[in-house]
Amino acid sequence: MSWERRLPPLAEDALDILREAAKDETGSNETGEQDFSNADFTKDSATAVLVADEEFTEADAEHALELLESRGHIYYVDDKVYLTPTDD
Residue 50 CB: number of other CB atoms within 10 A? 24
What span, in angstroms and rounded, lies between the C-alpha atoms of 68 and 87? 17
pLDDT at 30: 47
Q: What are the tens digits of pLDDT across the range 41-87? A: 899 999 999 999 999 999 999 999 999 999 999 999 988 999 988 76
Q: Is residue 42 part of a domain?
A: yes
Q: The domain spanning residue 75 has which CATH number? A: 1.10.10
Is 2 among the domain residues?
A: no
Flag whether 1 is in a domain.
no
Rounded to 5 degrees, what angle do the CA atoms 38, 43, 48 make? 100
Q: What is the pLDDT of residue 47?
A: 96
Dist. CA 36–CA 82, nearest whole Å: 8
pLDDT at position 31 is: 45
Per the structure, the count of domains in the chain is 1
Domain around 18: 9-24+36-83
Per the confidence metrics, is the pTM higher than 0.85?
Answer: no
Partnered with residue 77 across adjacent β-strands are: 80
